[in-house]
Structure formats: C-alpha cells, structure tokens
Amino acid sequence: MQITSFKQYEEDFKKSVDNPEQFWGEVAQNFQWRKPWFKVLSWNFNEPNIKWFEGAKLNITENCLDRHLEKNGDKPAIIWEPNNPEEESVTYTYKMLHERVCRFANVLKRNGAKKGDRICIYMPMVPELAIAVLACARIGAVHSVIFGGFSAKSIADRINDSQCKLVITADGAYRGNKQIPLKDVIDDALIGCPTVEKCIVLTHVRTPVSMLKGRDVWWEDEVKHVNDICEAEEMDAEDMLFILYTSGSTGKPKGVVHTCGGYMVYAGYTFSNVFNYQPGEVYFCTADIGWITGHSYIVYGPLSQGATSVLFEGIPTYPSPSRFWDIVEKHKVNTLYTAPTAIRSLMSFGDEPLNGKDLSSIRVLGSVGEPINEEAWHWFDEKIGHGKAPIVDTWWQTETGGIMISPIATVTPTKPSYATLPLPGIQPILVDENGKEIEGNGVSGNLCIKFPWPGMLRTTYGDHERCKQTYFSTYENLYFTGDGCLRDEDGYYRITGRVDDVLNVSGHRIGTAEVENAINMHAGVVESAVVGYPHDVKGQGIYAFVINPEMHGEEELTKKDILQTVTRVIGAIAKPDKILFVAGLPKTRSGKIMRRILRKIAEGDTANLGDTSTLLDPAVVDQIIEASKALK
Ligand code: WTA
C-alpha cells in the first residue's frame, strides 16, 4: 500500500483516475472487514449521495486495536506527554489501549448508550480522550468531539443539534499555566440540553465540581463496575462514525458527518503514505483531538496502521518555547506534524530555545491547517529538519476526512509553500466564477474536486439540504472547497486561502457571520462587520467594525465587554484582535455590506479601495479610514 517512488506515485495516480473502483478496492484489502462489499462506489454529486464499500461490515476499532494484538500487542500505541514536564509521560501499548477501550465501552453501555446514539465528548488532551472516542466507535455510538476552547453556549448548540444522549468530560484541563474548568462549562451548557441523560466525568485536575444526582457519574467509579470484554459492534460501511462541527459562511456551525468504512480506509491510506510511516517509528501530531486533524492523524489514521502516536496535553510555549524540541528529544520523535501558526510562534523566539536539543531523530516534517509562508517553511526545514527531512504541506479539510493535496514524504519533490500534487484518488480542478474549468498550468481559480474519495463527508447532520447547498450547488457536479488555489507551471498546487467568508485564525476555522452574530448580541451594538487581516503569528487576525452608539463609559472598557460577550457566545478562540467603533458601514444600495472595502482598510491598504460609487453613502468610507488610523 505504501508508495516508494515518484514513478509509482504517477502510476497509482493514473490507475486511481482510470479505474477508481479497482484502485480503492485494492487499498481497502489492507483493512479488516467482517463482510466484504458488493460495490466499491456509487455516487451522485447532485443529491449528493455517496456510498463507498456498500454492503461491507466492519468495526474501525478492530482495525485500530484488535488486529495489532497478536504481533504488536506490546508495542506502544499512544505515548502521552502531560502538560507539566515534571510529570511522568505514560505509554499505552496496543494491549493496554484495547483493554481500556473495551472497559470504557462497557461503561457507555452501562449508562444506556447504544449503537447510533450521539455522544458529546468535551475533554482535555489526555489518553482517556482517545479511549472515549474509540469506545464510542466500539459500540457503534456516534461521537461528536467539541474542542475545549468552546463556550457553554457553543456546546449546547452542538449537543442540541445532534441530540446527544450522553456527555463525556473531565473536571478540568491544564493548558500551560492555566486551568480550565471543563465540568463547570458543561454544567452551564447542560442547563439547556434536554436530551442529555448522563454525564461521565473523568478526574484530571482534581478541582471541586458539582455532581448532579442521577445524571453525573465519575469515570473512575464506573470502570470498576464493568469488565474489559466488549465485542465490537458490527457496523455497516456507511453507518455514521462521527460528527464534527465546523464553521462555514453562515452563522450556524455544521455537523460534518463521516461514515465508518470509507473514512477508515482514507485516514489509514493517507497516514501511511503521506508520512511514509515505518514500523517502530514515533509519530507526533501536535493538533487537538477536538479538530479533524486530531481525529484522523492522532487517533484513527496512526492506530489503524499500528503506529506509535504521541498525544501532548500542553502548548508549544509551556513551560518554555523549547517544549516541542524537548518532546522530540525525549521520545525520539521521527515525524513531527504541526501547524504554521505554531512554527511562526516558535520562530519568533529565535534560535535560543533550540540550543543543545537533539533533533536528529526527525525524518519527516508536516504542516497543516493554513497556508505556510515561505519564511516559516524555510525555518522549519533548516532549524528543525536540518535540511534533511522532507516537509509535507498537507492541504485538506474537516469535510475531506483526510489529506487531499500533499507531497508524499521521500517521494514527491517539495517546493516551499506548495501543497504540491493531489494524492492518488483525488481529482482537483480549478474553476472560474461561472464554474468553467480553468485548464493548463500557470493559472489560478477556485478549488473543486470532481470525483468522490472514500473520506469525504456524506452529509451535514440533520440537514442534508445544507450539505448540498454548501458544497455541491455552487458548481454543478463538483465538490466546492471554498479555497482559492494556484496551479503553477509545474502543475503544483498552492492553496491561497479561503474565498468565502471564513477566517483561518491560528489554523482554526471561524465564520465571519458567527463572530458578527456574537458581537451583535452585545447590548448597545447595532451592527457589525468582521473581516480577516494578515497577522504575523496567527496567519489571520479578526478585525471587527462595530456600530455602537450607546457606549457606556470608556471605549476601551466597552471593547473588553464585547470581547467578553464573544467569549461567552462562541469561545475565546473567536475574540476579535481589533475592534473599531464606526458610525456606519459601507453598504450597497441593496443593503449588502461591501466587505472588500473593509478588508482593504483592515489591511491598511486604503490607497486602492476600488470602485466605491455603488455605495449608498460613500462618505462613510472616509470616516472609517480616519478612525482606523488611530487604531493600533
Ligand atoms: C485551510 C484542517 C493552505 C484551507 C485540516 C481549508 C490549508 C481549511 C492547508 C480547512 C494547507 C488546511 N495549506 N491552507 N496545507 N490545510 N488549510 O476544516 O483554507 O479545520 O479550507 O481542516 O484550512 O480547515 P479545517
């Protein structure tokens, strides 16, 4: 299954386009199925209706755990590195992980969970998070992991959207020198969640928490009541595996749905190939399991391939900006997969944190989540890879389930800031605004995919029409990514960023409409418009233009109040970096906000505002420019 030469990549790619069913049918043979499929693929992008490995039966946890037990049971599956480096790291072998997952799966059953139920997971980056995820999959329950940075309201909205029956959380989380009261946040959320019957709470930080009689139970108590034998539920290839909420251009996040068979094949295949993973190697992905990267490349991808995956609880700068390098040295990490925002942040500390660190174990480097600028690429290459480790700049999305356009480590010649070439099975095309294909090289356009791949989303939970509208209606018969893209003279792809109203802040996807809704909930705010602007570390920062005629007291204080509201409504990750109070917003005669102009102002590029003659009140623009000059 592993591609070892560029020639083989080209052959596999050709085969995957000429005969996709045969290609994926063969890849899928590398996994364990209880029953084979009768059809590899049926599809229709108009409805959309996509089915991979129809008729096949499996359980993904048998692929991630059971099948490794005989030969590799004592091999480390997960190495957990705690937030505090003074604490011991913990290694779970495949045997141990299997045992814990089965035991916790029985806890879920004991608390009423069964196949098809939705379970919300809101936990710190501890091994029990991976165990909870796998335990859901074991019994066929659908997990919906929510990133620890979301507020109670965001959690409640997600729980209600998918009608979760159970919540798994912890008393709290450590992040650097901060402690986050997870259970408190969950308690606030659950006030408005009538479908939740049980909440399982892991003890982690040992902070006092409220435990509601009849609803809340302790993880540690529950596991004592069950044994560790739990046969995996037989799942249909197209049964739901998980829901993961992600932001789009409208205010409400969507529950992206992935199913069992195709997702497993795609996560496993891409993990093995993109990182050129070799048996026995240590692989470290710094993402959080609350995002798709953690799902596919900390849990399912690596474990399906019997790899050793490092799970890190903390942050790159705690207790010092040497932390990643200490972890690499300590666990002899061979592959480091991280985000441009982390690279840029660590870069800003200079070379000092790298002094004396042994990074010689590193063989492959990876980047994900946002475009990586050339400066960061070269720093990563020279300082971390010592010019010897290929960098895989992996482009993909929550909706794609796995990596789509990326170099294959040791195989594809790389080029700074380029995601390079599509993986076998992926057929990208560039289109203009009218959906006309832009052929040839040395061109730019909107990135679409014209043929299905096994890891793609199947629907958005509870609202199939929304899935159709968002991804399959902009251009006929194409999956639209929302990204702009350049294809250079060599046919290499470079992702240039979102072309819709979605921001990418430190690799986190945030919809401008979502942030605007949150700001507009603040008392006194009449209207707001949010745009992104280039930010040295975060990639993009959030710039909010706010109309607020009834300001109480000081302007600075009011800004802080608004930030507090955004934190309450969405979470701290969505806090604007800059707030500018304005008297009006530039609108067309039909009332549409001209974001293009606001973007220019946010970028400080006020000389080229373009045509403003269609505006209802062009004078508003001058006022905003004047005000923006005073804002640092
Ligand atoms: C962006 C993260 C440039 C892109 C896996 C995409 C990237 C969005 C890259 C998806 C990359 C991701 N180069 N841009 N290598 N990887 N993106 O759903 O805009 O959190 O649409 O998935 O991140 O973000 P998501």
Note whether 291 and 371 are same-domain residues: yes
> What value does the mean pLDDT take over residues 209-224?
98
Q: How far is CA 440 from CA 13, 407, 487, in A?
A: 18, 20, 8
Q: With a 6 A CB cut-off, is 396 part of the ligand 1 pocket?
A: yes
Contact 489, 476 (CB under 8 A): no
Note whether 221 and 290 are same-domain residues: yes
Note whether 540 and 434 are same-domain residues: no
Q: With a 6 A CB cut-off, is 183 part of the ligand 1 pocket?
A: no
Strand 479-487 to 443-449 pairing? antiparallel
Strand 335-338 to 282-285 pairing? parallel
- The answer to whether position 33 is within a domain reads yes
Q: What is the pLDDT of residues 472-510, one digit of tens each?
A: 999 999 999 999 999 999 999 999 999 999 999 999 999
CA distance 539 to 340: 8
> What value does the mean pLDDT take over residues 289-302?
98
Q: With a 6 A CB cut-off, is 308 part of the ligand 1 pocket?
A: no
Of all helices (H) and strands (E), which one includes residue 137? Answer: helix 127-139
Nearest ligand 1 atom to the CA of 419 is: 15
Report CA(383)–ligand 1 centroid distance (Å).
24
Note whether 209 and 96 are same-domain residues: yes
pTM higher than the cut 0.75: yes
Q: What is the pLDDT of residues 324-360, one digit of tens each?
A: 999 999 999 999 999 999 999 999 999 999 999 999 9
Q: How many CB atoms lie within 10 A of CB 442?
A: 10
Q: Whose CA is nearest to atom 6 of ligand 1?
A: 397
Residue 293 has pLDDT above 80, yes or no: yes
Of all helices (H) and strands (E), which one includes residue 143? Answer: strand 142-145
Pocket test for ligand 1, best of 370, 418, 474 (most atoms within 8 A of CB): 370
* Residue whose structure tokens are 């969505």: 574
Query: How would residue 614 be classed by pLDDT, with cut points 50, 70 and 90?
Result: confident
Note whether 437 and 523 are same-domain residues: no
> Percentage of the chain with pLDDT > 90?
94
Q: How many CB atoms lie within 10 A of CB 321?
A: 18
- The answer to whether position 485 is within a domain reads no
Report CA(500)–ligand 1 centroid distance (Å).
13
Pocket test for ligand 1, best of 147, 337, 420, 509 (most atoms within 8 A of CB): 509
Report CA(113)–ligand 1 centroid distance (Å).
33
- The answer to whether position 518 is within a domain reads yes
Residue 608's pLDDT is what?
82
- The answer to whether position 244 is within a domain reads yes
Q: Tell me, what DSSP letter sits at residue 408?
A: P
Note whether 407 and 516 are same-domain residues: no
Q: What is the CATH number of the domain that holds 169?
A: 3.40.50.12780
Q: What is the DSSP code string of 336-381?
A: EEE-HHHHHHHHTT-SGGGTT---TT--EEEEESSPPPHHHHHHII
Q: What is the CATH number of the domain that holds 534?
A: 3.30.300.30
Nearest C-alpha neighbor of 202 from the set 229, 173, 231, 163: 173
> What value does the mean pLDDT take over residues 399-411?
98
Residue 560 has pLDDT above 90, yes or no: yes
Residue 393's pLDDT is what?
98
Residue 577: both structure tokens together: 């970096």
Residue 171 has pLDDT above 80, yes or no: yes
Q: What is the pLDDT of residues 202-211, one digit of tens each?
A: 999 999 999 9
Q: With a 6 A CB cut-off, is 297 part of the ligand 1 pocket?
A: no
Note whether 376 and 516 are same-domain residues: no
Last residue of a domain, one of 440, 459, 478: 459
- The answer to whether position 487 is within a domain reads no
Nearest ligand 1 atom to the CA of 293 is: 5
Residue 376's pLDDT is what?
97
Report CA(395)–ligand 1 centroid distance (Å).
6
Query: How would residue 543 be classed by pLDDT, with cut points 50, 70 and 90?
Result: very high
- The answer to whether position 356 is within a domain reads yes
Nearest C-alpha neighbor of 216 from the set 174, 171, 179: 171
Residue 560: both structure tokens together: 């802080």
Query: How would residue 62 be classed by pLDDT, with cut points 50, 70 and 90?
Result: very high
Residue 1's pLDDT is what?
83
- Torsion of the alpha carbons at 287, 289, 290 and 291, rounded to the nearest 10: 50
Report CA(370)–ligand 1 centroid distance (Å).
5
Total of domains in the chain: 2
Residue 370's pLDDT is what?
94
DSSP lists the bridge partners of residue 546 as: 528, 581
Note whether 421 and 561 are same-domain residues: no
Q: How far is CA 342 from CA 47, 317, 346, 573, in A?
A: 39, 9, 6, 15
Pocket test for ligand 1, best of 298, 300, 504 (most atoms within 8 A of CB): 504
Last residue of a domain, one of 428, 459, 490: 459
Contact 481, 487 (CB under 8 A): no
Note whether 383 and 237 are same-domain residues: yes
Q: Which domain holds residue 519?
A: 502-629
Last residue of a domain, one of 394, 425, 459: 459
Average pLDDT of the chain to the nearest whole number: 96
Residue 164 has pLDDT above 90, yes or no: yes
Q: How far is CA 158 from CA 166, 185, 245, 295, 404, in A?
A: 13, 14, 7, 18, 27
Contact 612, 597 (CB under 8 A): yes
- The answer to whether position 497 is within a domain reads no
Residue 181 has pLDDT above 90, yes or no: yes
Note whether 121 and 247 are same-domain residues: yes
Note whether 61 and 130 are same-domain residues: yes
Q: Whose CA is nearest to atom 22 of ligand 1?
A: 397
Q: With a 6 A CB cut-off, is 270 part of the ligand 1 pocket?
A: no
Alpha-carbon torsion (204, 309, 405, 486), positive or negative:
positive
Q: With a 6 A CB cut-off, is 393 part of the ligand 1 pocket?
A: yes
Q: With a 6 A CB cut-off, is 398 part of the ligand 1 pocket?
A: yes
Residue 564 has pLDDT above 80, yes or no: yes
The three-state secondary structure class of 391 is strand
Q: What is the pLDDT of residues 428-440, one digit of tens each?
A: 999 999 999 999 9
Report CA(402)–ligand 1 centroid distance (Å).
11
Note whether 333 and 396 are same-domain residues: yes
- The answer to whether position 615 is within a domain reads yes
